[in-house]
Structures are given as structure tokens and as C-alpha cells.
Amino acid sequence: MELLHSGKVRDVYADGDALVLVASDRISVYDVVLPTPIPDKGRLLTALSVWWFEQLADIVPNHVVSTTDVPAEFAGRAIRCRRLDMVPVECVARGYLTGGGLAEYERTGAVSGVALPRGLVEASILPEPIFTPSTKAPMGEHDEPITYEQVAAKVGPETAERLRQITIDVYRRGAEIAADRGILVADTKIELGWAPDGTLVLADEVLTSDSSRFWPAESYQPGRPQFSYDKQYVRDWAAGSGWNKQAPAPEVPAEVVEATRARYVDVYEKLTGNRWQ
């Protein structure tokens, strides 16, 4: 196999006509990879993505060829997948106002050009899910919000509408399934690529703790930060550490690592109904 790309979390290898996507235990915040891994993270992300790909198969095809036909050293954390021509846009759907969307709303009253009602607060539920795309920045640089019109200018109006519809459909299905298990999906980011026949295909990861914000429904209360099953716990630690959000990042304390791993395991078990081994 040939290493083609090493990203913030995943490594991509060429293997014949297919790719092997390997999820590491690396974790990134503010688009910077932290020096401290989260044990089992790669296996958890892979298992959860594979489960979600199955739940979403009737909405959008995915890139999975095999979850078992991978090198032994990557077993459990790798997927053999189709080669795609990736869309140069991060596709984000939001159902609640939080994170960068909240900051933008407080400045402008809109998120990625989508005007929202006045008077919303942190964690407010939105009238309906919205498509809030961003740039796909190189490693070490920050993704930046862009408008739907900018997406249309980049990929064409027909593709832009397909990206928006698929992203919202994935979010709605994921939010519905998660709600039945006591979890709110505040937002999620997906990656799409073109297959040779022109089909848009879901790739990379989907509805994981790295690509989504998961909140327990039982403690949800607008107007304040929520308990998160995702890497928000690490973001919060980083924000209060005095770090300037530029590489190199500081080591993550052991208690933050363990608490983060526990949240990844907890949300995996709640969503899938499977016990993590």
C-alpha cells in the first residue's frame, strides 16, 4: 500500500483500485492536531461510522467496499473504500445554535448567510435545520464559513442544491434516530464525493463524535453550554488552557483524555445499542 495523505485524524492509503481509510487515535481542535491521542478513538469512530452508513443507505450511497478486507495492523479502525473525486466544500447542517454558528449569529443575525429569528440564545433549537457550508482548509489552517451562493459559484447551482439536500436529509435522519435514544444532534459535518458515474457519495466519516455535536436530551436547556458526548470537552479544556490555538498544541492532561474517551464510548453504546469491547 502507498500512503497518499495523512490528515488531522485519518490516513489514506492506495491499494489497487481502492483506498484504505485508517482512523487514528489523534484528536484535533481548532484545526490543530493535539500531541496526546485518545485511546480507542479510531476504532470507535470507524465502528460508529459503519453503523451510520447502514442507517443512511437509502438516503445516499456511501464509499464502503469492505470493513474486513484491510491489513491486519489496521483491523477495526480501517475501511476499504471507493475512490471518489471529493467535493471541495465541508457540508454542515445545524439544528441548534452553538459553536461558530452562535458566534456568527451574535455578530450578524445569520449563519453562513442564512438569516435567523431575533432573540435566539446559545443552544436554541432552530425553526428548521439549515445548511451552513464551510471551506475545506489545508491541514493547519482553519475552515471558514461560506454562503450557499459561494458554494453554487464553486460547484455549480445544481450540485450545490444536491449538496444541501443530502446534507439536510442526513441530518434529519440522524437526529431522528438519535432522539429515539435520548441524544440531540446539534449539528453535523459530512463529506461527499463524485463517483465515476456522477453519483454523489457519502465518504470519510458520518455522525461521529468528531464530526457532530451530541447532547443528552434529558439535560438539554437553552441559554447555556450543554454537556457534550463529543470532543467539545477537549475544546473547552483547550480554550481555558491559555493556549493560543496555534501549532504546536500542549499535551492534554490524563483526566481530560479519560473523560473524553468515556464520552466517545458512551455515545457509541447509546446510539448503536452495542456494548463497546
β strands within the chain, DSSP E: 2-6, 10-15, 18-23, 28-29, 32-33, 64-66, 78-81, 85-86, 91-96, 110-111, 114-115, 125-131, 183-194, 200-203, 212-216
Alpha helices in 95-156 (DSSP H): 99-108, 148-155
Q: What is the distance of C-alpha 222 from the center of its chain? A: 22
- Torsion, CA 87, CA 5, CA 263, CA 37, rounded to 10: -160
Is the pTM for the entire model greater than 0.85? yes
Buried b or exposed e, range 104-140, using 16+ CB within 10 angstroms: bbeeeebbbbbebeeebebbbebeebbbbbbbeeeee
Closest CA to 133 of 109, 153, 113, 105: 113
Q: Which residue do the cell numbers 477495526 mark?
A: 76
Buried b or exposed e, range 67-86, using 16+ CB within 10 angstroms: beebeeebeebbbbbbebee
What pLDDT tens digit does each residue of the chain (277 aa) get? 899 999 889 999 999 999 999 999 999 988 899 999 999 999 999 999 999 999 999 999 999 999 999 999 999 999 999 999 999 999 999 999 999 999 999 999 999 999 999 999 999 999 999 999 999 866 556 678 999 999 999 999 999 999 999 999 999 999 999 999 999 999 999 999 999 999 999 999 999 999 999 999 999 999 999 999 988 889 899 999 999 999 999 999 999 999 999 999 999 999 999 999 8
Q: Which residues contact 140 (CB under 8 A, 6 or more apart)?
A: 31, 32, 247
Structural domains in the chain, CATH included, are: 85-219 (3.30.470.20)
Note the pLDDT of residue 30: 85
As a whole number of angstroms, the distance between CA 110 and CA 148 comes to 12
Which helix (H) or strand (E) is 263 found in, with range? Answer: helix 254-272
Query: Would you put residue 173 in left (φ > 0), alpha (ψ -120 to 50) or beta?
Result: alpha
